[in-house]
Chains A and B, each alone.
Chain A
Amino acid sequence: MYTLGIDIGSTTSKCVLLKDGKEIVGSSIVVAGTGTDGPSQALENVLNSAGVVREDISYTIATGYGRKIFQGADGEISELSCHARGVHFVFPDVYTVIDIGGQDAKVLSLNDQGRMMNFAMNDKCAAGTGRFLDVMASILKLDISDLEKEAAKAQNPASISSTCTVFAESEVISQMAAGTDLPDLVAGICQSVATRVASLARRVGIKERVCMSGGVARNAGVRNAMSKELGVEIVYSDMAQLMGALGAALYAYDKAKDSNPTVS
């Protein structure tokens, strides 16, 4: 039995196709979020990669910012619960999830069964989110994927004190004009994200192990800064960006089983 999870974020659309609630048989990421053709492209890509057709899918759950307007789902669940579920599937011993997406940051507290018990999200401000890193990468004329490499070369990370993305942009430009090395600037930017989200994490309470998920988790500069800031090891999966879609596919499997108890 195939179930599908589709996570429609503000900047990307992600799909995970699951077989019998256990085996990931396909996944896709399209850099285009809600309000674009990203969701349908992500869906098409995952079906093609797995050699599966829509009719083979028993149940689909949508999650993420665009979950309510996606027409092809049987149900929708918040990205909060889906990230918790996806991370628990990959790391059953994780109790704290730090998820940083395109325009929000969230910290989830999980119980022994991987159920979300508490959460905190960023306030109505893009600081400490993927959008902040996008803006900074653009000022520095770097690709977002280069931030990690540059941060690793830093000798003396710069201090970016503004929490507001717009003010931080001016601060970064001033530091560039003052001749601050690029790697030091990038490391400072990563540190700025980590510091802001770490405060959110402390509000929920840190219980090890701690996992980072979401697109920003791919950036080792932010992961390392977060680990140092919180004083804990941070686990991470190459599937970090797919955790929401994975959780949605797992919930879809539960729903499919509920509606047809004869399948295992």
Chain B
Amino acid sequence: MGEEVKKSRPAPDPNSAKFKLGQIAAKAYSDAMEAKARGEMVGWCASNFPVEIPETLGLYVCYPENQAAGIAARGGGERMCNISEGEGYSNDICAYARISLAYMKAKEAPEQNMPLPDFVLCCNNICNCMIKWYENIAKELDIPMIMIDIPFNPDYEVSDAEVEYIKAQFWDAIHQLEEYTGKKWSDERFKEVMEISGRSSRAWIEAASQAKYVPSPFNGFDLLNHMAVMVTARGKAEAAEAMETLLKEYKENHEKGVSTFRAEEKYRIMFEGIACWPWLRVTSTGLKSRGINMVTTIYADAFGYIYEDFDGMCRAYANVPNAMNLEHARDKRIKLCRDNSVEGVLVHTNRSCKLWSGFMPEMSRQIGEACGIPVASFDGDQADPRNFSEAQYDTRVQGLMEIMEANKGGN
């Protein structure tokens, strides 16, 4: 009998964007852990809260959404959902919320630990479920909740009145945090953070836009991994540097005619919705095995914020995908489809995200019609593995592929 031969993986290149981004994402958690151990205050922060505020104040924050995604991707989603459901939370509630509420109770998750918070920073520009989720954490742990209300915008553009409304709340949040933590706001430091965040965002958006080339120099699933840094560390200098490295690598890939998509790119699609983290490999393989590259997704672009001043920052946070009206959100996606030569759209009907999944049937219909491309959807969940069926996913992806093939004139 022959001996099993294990293939050794080459050591990761410490100068590669992948390595740097992985380090930054991991460091965000370890820094917060160390800060807590030193006796510093640590916050939990919503992913679309203006991260520039805690960064400027020099506060350590962790991101429950990012933690929940990590726990779900590493197989702990069901266990954590069961804990919060045992506490009385309905399984109709967002699975990120259920995982986070479970973590608050269990205080431990081997897939991704983080320190318990001394304050929570909430912003409802992503969804309103977040308000009740954070309120419950604040109440149970008896800690302050800093709330910024950025309501869904029914108009196409952000009005000056909305900017004023948000600006007043941003300053209020800053003053509350100054008072509670003893840290002081510095306009100079804010300027630096804003510039770094802008650098990160510009590099990130430009890197994602390299999918304009056919074939794309990267596998779109890379974006789902790398965006963790945009969520948790976009205001940090090392994040800007790593994003610039990523952009450089994608440009080089194009010049050399190589790609991180390790298959022949036969079809190009836009993926719509939050990733199905518990089934990331299955959803990725279902596409790659058919030569389908997910070249673009609004989910990645959503974490690139570009603005020039404090008012611009207020406007940028009012213009995030889940807060903008259907027509504006549709037009942004149509642009992505056209810029990236997309041939079909795959929509994740995500049981956790009622808001996103609620507007998608009509929006995706309009996108498909405007671009003359097929749209298919599948049921799943961003973090609860019980809401996904591999066979159903496979049939729908194959159906989408067969339409794209027929549109090319094949069988």
Contacts and interface: CB of A to CB of B under 8 A. Distances in A.
Interface of A: 65, 68, 77-81, 104, 115-121, 123-124, 203, 251, 254-255
Contacts of A80: 395, 398-399, 402
Contacts of A65: 391, 395
B406 interface: yes
B396 interface: yes
B379 A118 contact: no
B375 A123 contact: no
Contacts of B399: 78, 80-81, 116, 119
Interface in B354-390: 361, 365, 368, 374-377, 379, 387-389
B402 A117 contact: no
Contacts of A117: 374, 403, 406
Given A78-B399, A118-B374, A124 B389 contact: yes
B125 interface: no
Given A65-B391, A116-B403, 20 more contacts: A65-B395, A77-B402, A78-B399, A78-B402, A81-B399, A81-B402, A115-B403, A116-B399, A117-B406, A118-B374, A118-B375, A118-B403, A119-B376, A119-B403, A121-B392, A121-B396, A123-B349, A124-B379, A124-B387, A203-B361
B15 interface: no
Interface string B393-411: 0111011001100100001
The range of chain B's interface size is 20 to 34
Interface in B315-345: none
A68 B376 CA distance: 20
A79 B398 CA distance: 9
Interface of B: 349, 361, 365, 368, 374-377, 379, 387-389, 391-392, 394-396, 398-399, 402-403, 406, 411
Contact of B411 (A104, A118, A124, A254): A254
Contacts of A78: 395, 398-399, 402
Given A251-B411, A254-B411, A115 B406 contact: yes
Specify which of B376, B379, B402 lies most central, judged by the most chain A CB atoms within 10 Å of its CB: B402
12 contacts: A65-B395, A78-B395, A78-B398, A80-B402, A116-B399, A117-B374, A118-B368, A118-B375, A121-B392, A124-B392, A203-B361, A255-B411
List the 9 shortest-distance A-B pairs measured between CB atoms, nearest first: A80-B399, A78-B398, A124-B379, A81-B402, A115-B406, A78-B399, A123-B379, A78-B395, A124-B389
B402 A116 contact: yes
Nearest to A258: B411
B337 to A, nearest CB: 16
B387 A116 contact: no
B331 to A, nearest CB: 22
A130 to B, nearest CB: 15
B78 to A, nearest CB: 16
A251 B377 CA distance: 25
A79 B375 CA distance: 17
A118 B406 CA distance: 11
Contacts of B406: 115-117
A5 to B, nearest CB: 14
Contacts of B395: 65, 78-80, 121
A115 B375 CA distance: 15
Contact of B392 (A68, A104, A119, A120): A104
Contacts of A121: 392, 395-396
Contacts of A254: 411
Nearest to A66: B391
A116 B395 CA distance: 14
Nearest to B399: A80
Contacts of B361: 203
A203 B403 CA distance: 18
Contacts of B379: 123-124
Contacts of A81: 399, 402
A152 to B, nearest CB: 34
Contacts of A120: 377
A175 B215 CA distance: 60
A29 B349 CA distance: 34
A65 B394 CA distance: 9
Contacts of A79: 395
Specify which of A65, A117, A121 lies most central, judged by the most chain B CB atoms within 10 Å of its CB: A121
Nearest to B388: A124
Contacts of B377: 120
Nearest to B405: A81
B406 to A, nearest CB: 5
A141 to B, nearest CB: 31
Nearest to B377: A120
B86 to A, nearest CB: 22
A43 B365 CA distance: 40
B375 to A, nearest CB: 7
A119 B389 CA distance: 18
B197 to A, nearest CB: 39
Nearest to B381: A124
A193 to B, nearest CB: 19
Contacts of B389: 124
B356 to A, nearest CB: 15
B99 to A, nearest CB: 20
A99 B179 CA distance: 63
A31 to B, nearest CB: 20
Nearest to A121: B396
A46 B368 CA distance: 41
